[in-house]
Structure 1
Amino acid sequence: MFAVIKANGKQYRVAAADEITIDHLDAEVGSVFTFPVLMLGGATVAIGAPHVDGATVTGEVVEQTRGDKVIAFKKRRRQNSRRKRGFRADLTVVRITEISGLGETVKAEPKSKRAPAPEAAADA
């Protein structure tokens, strides 16, 4: 099952356990956030007008980060005129934990710690 959600004026296609990077949300790391659902897909499809009634997508804030630096450089030739300006967007990484709607609920499996790989015995 997947859903199309709206976050900060943009639309994202998500499934359970996806990690998406969106524009900055005012939320602490580890807090739970609910997004409005525009469309649900899977075995049956539901399209909202504008939102799907009774459908929710829940996500957990993983980290607050910043994007790559974008440089805007303007130069006017032969006039000793140039301007350099940089910009870095504030971003939020969100892990989708649950999608529910149309009588179905899909939950993401909790992240488990990596088990150490078994060491191969060397034949002598």
Structure 2
Amino acid sequence: MLAVIKTGGKQYLVKPGDKLRVEKLEKKEGEEILFSDVLLVEKNKKIEIGNPLVKDAKVEAKVLSHGKGDKIIVFKYKAKKRYSRKIGHRQLYTEVEITGIHPVG
């Protein structure tokens, strides 16, 4: 069984037991999350595609941890003007484990 969920403006192909990093969610470690934005569900070789979402389908997950991603360096430079600017950015993420997929019916 697998599903495609949408969270944080991105889409993820998941199945039970998967661990993935999603954009930061305001949940504590150990809490359960219910993703209701399910775009596709596959069960027993039968695929159901939403329009745009599959009605009543849910994906359960458990929050494992929160963290920061690798640092990305942004360097701006203007030639002959003695202007340069170096900025770093670390994106916040939440690591979740998919515990269950509940298709329609």
TM-score, normalised to structure 1, is: 0.78
Gaps of 5+ in 2: none
C-alpha deviation, 1:102, in angstroms: 4.2
SS of residue in 1 equivalent to 2:46 = coil
Partner of 2:71: 69
Structure showing greater relative contact order (alpha-carbon pairs closer than 8 Å, 6 or more residues apart): 2
Partner of 2:39: 38
Pairs aligned (count): 103
Partner of 2:14: 14
Distance in 1 between the 2:35 and 2:104 partners? 16
1:1-124 mapped onto 2 (5 Å cutoff): 1-36=1-36, 37-42=38-43, 43-103=45-105
**Looking at CA atoms only, which structure, 1 or 2, has the larger radius of gyration?**
1
Distance in 2 between the 1:17 and 1:94 partners? 10
Q: Which structure is higher in strand share? A: 2
The percent of aligned pairs where both chains have the same amino acid is 38
> Would you say the 8 A contact 2:70–2:90 is kept in 1?
yes
> Would you say the 8 A contact 2:55–2:104 is kept in 1?
no
Gaps of 5+ in 1: 104-124
Q: Which runs of 4+ in 1 moved over 4 A?
A: none
TM-score, normalised to structure 2, is: 0.91
